[in-house]
Chain A
Amino acid sequence: MAGIGEWGQWSMKFKNEDIGAKILEIITSGLYDGNLNCLREYVQNSIDAKANLIEISFENSRDVLQIKDNGLGMNREELERAVQIGISEKTPDDIGWRGIGFWSGVPVSKRIVVVTKKEDGKKLRLKIDNDLFRLESNSNKPAIDVLTAATGDIEELPIGRDEIHDHYSIIRLESILRQQKEIFKDEYVTDYLSRTVPVAFDKNVFPLAPMIDDYLRSKKVPFPEVEIKYQGEQIHRPPTKIEMFIDRPIKRDFTINGEVVATSWILTTKENLALKEPNAGIVFKKKGFTIGDENLVSKEFEGTYHRWQFGEIHILSGKLRENAARNNFEHNNEILAPFLDQVAEFIKELQGLNRYLSDRLLSGEIRIARKAIEKEDFSKTKIVLKKASDKLSRQRKFPDDAAIKQIKGKVESISSQQEKQIERIRSKYAQATAKAAMVSGRERLQKTIDSLHPSLKRKMKGLNVRTARNLVTTPTDGLVQLLRKKTGMTSNELHVLSCAAYDWEVITAKNNSKGPRLTLMGQFKSNEHKLANRNRNIGVMTYAIHDLFVNQAKHCKGEECFSWYEKASDDEKDNLCADMLATVDLMYRLIEKSQSYKP
């Protein structure tokens, strides 16, 4: 095992038995972060074999997962090489090139079966016994012995009459383990494939697809032309809908030392609302395959991550390599750091754009305000409209980044459209509140009438909203009667008492006489200042109380002291009458409850 080396030290030499089976476990289960990743590995192999159609399907109620391609197929030597570990005929220019992908099906099934055929070649089959592989890879046996035991011999199969010229490879993961079946649910598989493997856009749902495809072609982005089907249905990559996007992508190159190492296209939401899966986030792609997931890009955001973008950064440079698990980049090269710096810088600019958009785009406010108006939630509408005008009044600078400026025109036109929409909502709001206020005055009056003290109400025959507006139907008669009953005074005595209390010599409605000191200021308008409003209410209340006892001439129409009332709107009258009735009612109840008084 060891011998004397050139310098006299003991030098280490490995033999078969020095490499134990446990190393195999690292490859088959330790390497990939999810078991669906075996799909990607096999798709990669198929694409490397120049397939343009890959059909993935389950058989016999999820007992078997089959990946069939129309690639070149393999002869005996190529098949032998395909299962070699860590040796690959492929160069880094191929997608899979480490020579391990073949084994990725071990953790999920009992057997891996390969059936392959080259054009006019033999049909070959190889079977791997995963149970044995699993069992033994936990032992201390030499790795080579375990691989040999688990791998069957290559057998030649009879060829059907129609398939002599066919070329294909079929990978079958047979007897999917029970505990793995959950992972292979249709929706998970479809979702995984659409995000991970190189599939085309669905032109029916993504009208920008031809434009983006042209762009990627013009940038010489390597993207395999392959159709991938799952259970017979063609898989497409997102977006699955586009109405929430500003329909112009931001296109940007990443250049290091004069070489374009990556290029990107990014869509931005116009709804200032987080995007939802699967139409959210920015991912790195290389040769059509996704490296890691959106988190690999989103970690370059500073502070709160606003998921307002969706897009792809395609790697062009062969120097930027993914790691073996394909969940990140390989870090041992000199251009990765400057590249990621550029990505971070771009992300920062995107954040600037998001800040700009959050002030300029009002679709959230529009949405909430529309809903609030519909529900007649006017206080919420008011708040939202205020927020919208606050936002518009803020000064924000559009980012300087040249790539992002590409969409400035679009943003401004969307913004002004939305501004107009907000204005429309604002006028709708004004109309709606005016109407609502009218209704509410009438309702208030009705409620007040309903809640009057029963005996007071009895004394006011025929009282309803309409008659209440006419002050002829005075509520005070009942009060005066009650007072007289309680005190035993005549109306004249009460009159004299009131005058003494207010220090009024005489009470008259004439303007030019001495009293009363009570005056009602200003005109009544709906948008009157709050303080005036309160004054008015107090004035009305005081006047009403005064009226209870003394004012004999109040019903004379055209009297100057009533002009304020004549000029008021119906809604104002309703509110005033409701106030007066409520005050009289309160007094009536207080007097009724009081002990009888004899001066």
Chain B
Amino acid sequence: MRVLLVEPDYYTRYPPLGLLKLASYHRSRGSEVRLVHGCEDLYQFEPDKIEVTTLFTYAWRPVHEAIDFFQKKCGDVDMRAGGIYSSLLPHHLKSIFPNINVHKGLFNEAEMYLPAYDLLDDSKKWRDWDTSIIFTSRGCIRRCPFCVVPRIEGKLKTVITDVQQYLYPDYKKVTIWDNNFLASANWKKILNDLRDIGLIVDFNQGLDARLIDEEKAAMLADFKLPMIRMAYDTPDQKQSIEKAVEILSDQGIRRRNMSFYVLFNFFDPKGGSGDTPISFLDRIRSIADLGCVSYPMRYEPPDSLEKNYFISPFWTPEQLELVARARRVIGFGGAFPPYEGLVRKFDSAPSLEDAMSLRSVAV
């Protein structure tokens, strides 16, 4: 069997982990695999099966292009699509490509395999990739209304306990991709193991501030993480966020190395609730007052077909544009670091418009 693995040509900073695991899965069945990025020439490779991954729903166009390209090229070869877009909007995909098989959610049979990182060596786009990506758990203990994880992955469950076996020997870095790492049953063993191996570690998805205590903070402090990422999504998290910052800083982690994702433009049609420009500014302000970095995250509905198209009833397009521009101009790398001027500007601003204005602060 020859299996073609297709990563459509959408923007992403991370290699197609799911496809790499599928590669190992197929190899374990004696198949030969080939990974392509976008609509690439296959030369002599004639696949018996094609697997296409997908990412965010709004990135559907490159997916359709790739499927169309390979359907024309390979005829009626068995083709299967998986990943976020396929799982969330299978009908959108099938309405255009009725013959394609769609796999929804995780493909558990492939989870046990070390991703076939060796395929990246031959990929133009990912040749310099140098980081093992690990999910020690899947799912989440929370049920946040704005989050897609519970819908695709369900409840929290342990995937691997033996991290070492899932580290690619040629890589010096490791990124933990758990949705809620600190909630997983094995966080302690895994942190201990990672510390013993001595690799550069990152927790990519953010840590749950509500779960941070002295023990966890002390262990995290050992890793010399360049940035500890957490989230401040709703005003009721204020106390736990303040507490987390205090505990972490007691363990010697600098406050400007703590960053909070700040959700805005979210609207939950079920309860008719969502954040407002005022609550957003409040959160930005308290993060600035704590001396930490805020990273605004504009809400995108999980099934949106256009990026930045959704506007919450509590927000205006102008306000959203203002935030976007402020992040580019007065922020740094899309974030608001606790620069003295910025902190003062946020504190003294009577409204979102003032806080996000591109003028300098009146002294």
Which residues of A come within 8 Å of B, CB atoms?
Answer: 59-64, 110, 113, 115, 123, 125, 157-163, 170, 172, 174-175, 177-178, 181
Contact = CB atoms under 8 A, between A and B. Distances in A.
Nearest to B48: A160
Contacts of A174: 28, 113
A178 B197 CA distance: 12
A63 B20 CA distance: 14
B261 interface: no
Given A59-B27, A61-B118, A172-B28, A159 B165 contact: no
A161 B31 CA distance: 12
Contacts of B1: 157-160, 163
A110 B164 CA distance: 13
Contacts of A178: 164-165
B114 A60 contact: yes
Interface residues on B, range: 20 to 34
Interface of B: 1-2, 24, 27-31, 46, 48-49, 113-114, 116-118, 164-165, 168-170
A125 B29 contact: yes
Contacts of A113: 28
B169 A157 contact: no
Given A59-B116, A60-B117, A64-B28, 20 more contacts: A59-B118, A60-B24, A60-B168, A61-B117, A61-B168, A62-B169, A63-B114, A63-B168, A64-B24, A123-B30, A125-B30, A158-B1, A158-B48, A160-B2, A160-B31, A172-B27, A172-B28, A175-B114, A175-B165, A178-B165
Contacts, number: 55
Contacts of B116: 59-60
B33 to A, nearest CB: 10
A119 to B, nearest CB: 16
Contacts of A175: 114, 165
Contacts of B30: 115, 123, 125, 157, 170
Contacts of B2: 160, 162
A591 B1 CA distance: 106
10 contacts: A59-B116, A62-B169, A110-B165, A157-B30, A160-B48, A161-B46, A162-B46, A174-B28, A174-B113, A175-B165
A78 B28 CA distance: 20
A181 B164 CA distance: 13
Nearest to A68: B30
- Identify which of A64, A110, A125 gathers the most chain B CB atoms within 10 Å of its CB: A64
B21 to A, nearest CB: 11
Contacts of A63: 24, 114, 168
A238 to B, nearest CB: 30
A125 B49 CA distance: 18
Contact of A60 (B46, B118, B164): B118
Nearest to A60: B118
Contact of A64 (B27, B31, B169, B170): B27
Main secondary structure of the interface of B (DSSP, over half): loop
A246 to B, nearest CB: 46
Nearest to A123: B30
B129 to A, nearest CB: 13
A123 B30 CA distance: 10
A61 B27 contact: no
A172 B31 CA distance: 12
A63 B113 CA distance: 10
Contacts of A61: 117-118, 168-170
A162 B1 CA distance: 8
A159 B169 CA distance: 33
Given A59-B27, A60-B24, A62-B169, A161 B48 contact: yes
A292 to B, nearest CB: 33
Contacts of B170: 61
Contacts of B114: 60, 63, 175
Nearest to A114: B30
A115 B29 contact: yes
Nearest to B3: A160
Contacts of A161: 46, 48
Contacts of A59: 27, 116, 118
A209 to B, nearest CB: 34
Contacts of A181: 169
A293 B231 CA distance: 64
A174 B31 CA distance: 14
A125 B117 CA distance: 24
A174 B114 CA distance: 9
A480 to B, nearest CB: 87
Nearest to B164: A178
Nearest to A161: B48
B127 to A, nearest CB: 15
Contacts of B168: 60-61, 63
B67 to A, nearest CB: 21
A160 B28 CA distance: 15
Nearest to A155: B29
Contacts of B27: 59, 64, 172
Contacts of B29: 115, 125, 157
A174 B165 CA distance: 11
- Identify which of B1, B28, B30, B168 gathers the most chain A CB atoms within 10 Å of its CB: B30
- Identify which of B1, B31, B48 gathers the most chain A CB atoms within 10 Å of its CB: B1
Nearest to B1: A160
Nearest to B116: A60
Contacts of A163: 1
A177 B29 CA distance: 20
Contacts of B48: 158, 160-161
Contacts of A123: 30
B121 to A, nearest CB: 9
Contacts of B28: 64, 113, 172, 174
Q: Sort A-B residue pairs by CB-CB distance and give the 3 closest, nearest first.
A: A115-B30, A160-B1, A160-B48
Contacts of A160: 1-2, 31, 48
A73 to B, nearest CB: 11
A247 B28 CA distance: 48
A178 B118 CA distance: 17
Contacts of B31: 160
A123 to B, nearest CB: 7
Contacts of A159: 1
A60 B171 CA distance: 12
A59 B121 CA distance: 12
A217 to B, nearest CB: 36
Nearest to B119: A60
B198 to A, nearest CB: 14
Contacts of B24: 60, 63-64
A108 to B, nearest CB: 13
A125 B27 CA distance: 12
Nearest to A124: B30
Contacts of B49: 158
B311 to A, nearest CB: 46
B131 to A, nearest CB: 14
Nearest to B32: A160
A67 to B, nearest CB: 12
A175 B2 CA distance: 22
Contacts of B169: 61-62, 181
Contacts of A115: 29-30
Nearest to A168: B30
A286 B165 CA distance: 38
- Identify which of A61, A123, A163, A170 gathers the most chain B CB atoms within 10 Å of its CB: A61
A138 B28 CA distance: 28
A181 B30 CA distance: 22
